[in-house]
Chain A
Amino acid sequence: MQSSKPILSVQNLRRDFKMGDEIVHALRGVSFDIYPGEFVTIMGTSGSGKSTMLNILGCMDRPTSGHYILDGQHTETLKRDALARIRNQKLGFVFQSYNLLSRTTAIENVELPLLYNSKISAEERHHRAIEALKMVGLESRMNHLPNQLSGGQQQRVAIARALVNDPVIILADEATGNLDTRTSYEIMMIFQELHSQGKTIAFVTHEPDIATFSGRTITLRDGLLKKDVINENVQNAKVAFEMLPPPETFEED
């Protein structure tokens, strides 16, 4: 795995916030690399700095000091617009609360990132959105509105949206946090499927059982890297899903 160049590299990353007179050190010097094709979970309790880490990895925030190299490019000194471009072309986000635009069809939601890329024609946009929806198994629902979809389906639309720009890495922020166990496992099945197709995934969660579906777990604590372990025994989400007791009543969000 270490033979190729890292797709993402953080080096001695620090992030301080000013809260009144006090300076809060959210990250106190964290370093790690993520290589192409890895499925990494970033774990930590609240206050561990994992959200701050994700914001920086997502190019929505800049470190106070240290380096963050994404796909060979230093991002620490980039301006707002340049960061927006990186988010648009190199990153895919999946959020806890899906963040789909309401009263906007599934396919239009998926097309959205491509709208902000002027190089992509309307035709290609549509084509790529359909492809992305196929990958999450929702091509039959592409003209549904978010409120006509279940929570799991909405999250799958959000995953399709994260895939549509063919990002170098998919960043998921508690992507199963709003879902019941069954649906969570379904979502993890999709992530594992994407991983098997060679996608690089960083998955932030605080649920240990979710971490067992990934190949590597980075644990943060008090702004420091506490553990970075390779998962020898990766669980198969499909198997885990099938072992769950069958639902008596279907839970809806």
Chain B
Amino acid sequence: MNPFTLAKIALRALLRNRMRTFLSVLGIVIGVAAVITMVAMGEGSKKSIKEQMTAMGTNAIIIQLNQSRRGGVQTESTELLEEEDVIAIRENATYINGVSPMVTVGGQAIVGNNNSPTTLSGVSADYLKIRNYEIQDGVMFDDEADRMAKVCVIGQTVVKNLFPDADPIGKTIRYKSIPLKVIGTLKAKGSGDFGQDQDDVIFTPYQTVMRRFSATTNIRQIYANSIGEGYAAKATEEIMGILKERRNWTKPTDPFRVFTQEEMIQMVTSTSDMLSLVLTAIAGISLFVGGIGIMNIMYVSVTERTKEIGLRMAIGARGRDILLQFLFESVIISLLGGAIGIALGIAASETVKIAMNWPMSVSVTSVIVSFGVCFATGVFFGWYPARKASRLDPIEALRFE
């Protein structure tokens, strides 16, 4: 019997029990829609994290103080970073093309009646390159000429907060009652999906923060930029060598902790991979339950139609013909459920994206795989009922009431 005829027979049988067919299809629809939506959620968050981290600077390396926990109290090692470390790295490292300390002060910037609760970041000029910032108007301060100068460069959010209608260049803002002259503004970078606004920044020379605001010589973080993709490990090794040499370091453990952007992307994506996997597994279970629904209904259908099977066999249907007839039914149910489920899943993903502003990304792979899994579900769960039907004895089946 050709596939077209089989499909026709199967469709007719399914239409005969519309409600029952609808319910078994629904089981698959829910499963598939859940898979599509969950994968879209997982993929979306992964993608947005990646984008965000790329926006932070792909080749960034971050050197941090080594922190350890003892007895539940977070303690910091006595090994601290200093300005000399930054200078040594800048002068000696060959695998980096930019380095900047990062020292911060919390507070708010004030201009007249306007204020902006923005952290003041003390950096060097290289920081823009490391973090992919660009100057929009004015200039970036110079490490030598503006050493300890009371100048700053501000992001667009700060511009909006403090200078709603005026050109900020040349104006003065007050931060902890210290006046800082705005010499430049940054191009907008947009907000990250996880809340932090990358345009809500005020940059000032790091010496300005260290001497005028926090009166310290210690630096908490150093940012560096490797010369290109794939050099992160070499650059890290080199930096660590320089830092150790300056300290005559002999201990087996490293004095500082180094994060590369690559590592961080990997770390974050592996976490979100895990999350995707769990979400997909849960959705997969509901698809499995849908499959069991099909199997159940196919068993009922085979029993109900025993007499029909007997008649078909009596007039010449082989076991294979009967097997295919019922397999077609279960596969049609599962594929129909799959198609509707995919459409519903995509719709749900788009709705969540628009309504809740969540990062969602429907992957083509998940659509193709879902459809494939549906087909497999139909065959797998339809197989046993169909085989039961195909093995009926025609005499017994005809006698069935």
Which A positions have Cβ atoms within 8 angstroms of B? 55, 58, 60-61, 80-81, 84-85, 87-89, 93, 95, 99, 101, 103-104, 112-113, 115-118, 161, 165
Contacts and interface: CB of A to CB of B under 8 A. Distances in A.
Contacts of A80: 318-319
A161 B312 CA distance: 12
Interface in B387-401: 394-395, 398
B321 interface: yes
Nearest to B396: A60
Nearest to B4: A122
A85 B312 CA distance: 12
Given A103-B16, A115-B1, A116-B321, A95 B398 contact: yes
B311 A99 contact: yes
Q: Classify the interface of chain B: helix, strand, loop or mixed.
A: helix
Contacts of B308: 101
A87 B314 contact: yes
Q: Which of B12, B16, B394 has the most CB of A within 10 A?
A: B394
A116 B315 CA distance: 8
A74 B308 CA distance: 28
Nearest to B307: A99
A237 to B, nearest CB: 26
A61 B395 contact: yes
A60 B314 contact: yes
Contacts of A115: 1, 5
Contact of B1 (A93, A104, A116, A165): A116
A84 B398 contact: no
Q: Which of B2, B311, B313, B314 has the most CB of A within 10 A?
A: B314
Given A61-B395, A115-B5, A81 B318 contact: yes
Contacts of A103: 12, 16
A66 B313 CA distance: 24
Interface in B280-319: 307-308, 310-319
A165 B314 CA distance: 13
Given A99-B307, A101-B308, A118-B2, A84 B395 contact: no
A118 B1 contact: yes
Interface in B63-106: none
B314 A93 contact: yes
Contact of B311 (A85, A101, A118): A101
A84 B311 contact: no
A58 B395 CA distance: 10
Contacts of A104: 12
Given A55-B395, A99-B398, A112-B312, A84 B317 contact: yes
B181 to A, nearest CB: 88
Given A80-B319, A93-B314, A118-B1, 19 more contacts: A55-B395, A60-B394, A61-B395, A84-B317, A84-B318, A87-B313, A87-B315, A88-B315, A95-B311, A99-B307, A99-B310, A99-B314, A112-B312, A112-B315, A113-B315, A116-B317, A116-B318, A118-B2, A161-B315
18 contacts: A55-B395, A60-B314, A60-B395, A61-B395, A81-B320, A88-B317, A93-B315, A99-B310, A101-B308, A103-B12, A115-B1, A116-B1, A116-B315, A116-B316, A116-B317, A116-B321, A118-B2, A161-B315
A90 B249 CA distance: 97
A193 B307 CA distance: 30
Interface in B313-366: 313-321
A173 B308 CA distance: 17
Contacts of A99: 307, 310-311, 314, 398
A47 B313 CA distance: 25
Interface string B263-292: 000000000000000000000000000000
Interface residues of B, number: 22
Nearest to B16: A103
Contacts of A161: 315
A113 B395 CA distance: 17
Contacts of A112: 312, 315
B160 to A, nearest CB: 70
Contacts of A89: 316
A119 to B, nearest CB: 12
Contacts of B395: 55, 60-61
A84 B322 CA distance: 12
A60 B314 CA distance: 7
A205 B315 CA distance: 21
- 6 smallest A-B Cβ distances: which pairs? A88-B316, A113-B315, A116-B316, A84-B318, A99-B311, A60-B394
Contacts of B316: 84-85, 87-89, 113, 116-117, 165
A18 to B, nearest CB: 15
B313 A84 contact: yes
B401 to A, nearest CB: 9
Nearest to A80: B319
A165 B316 CA distance: 11
Contacts of A55: 395
Contacts of B307: 99
Nearest to B394: A60
A81 B312 CA distance: 13
Nearest to A82: B318
B230 to A, nearest CB: 62
Contacts of B12: 103-104
Contacts of B317: 84, 88, 116
A76 to B, nearest CB: 17
Nearest to B5: A115
A17 to B, nearest CB: 11
A108 to B, nearest CB: 9
Interface in B200-222: none
B1 A58 contact: no
Contacts of B5: 115
Q: Which of B1, B310, B313 has the most CB of A within 10 A?
A: B313
A104 B311 CA distance: 14
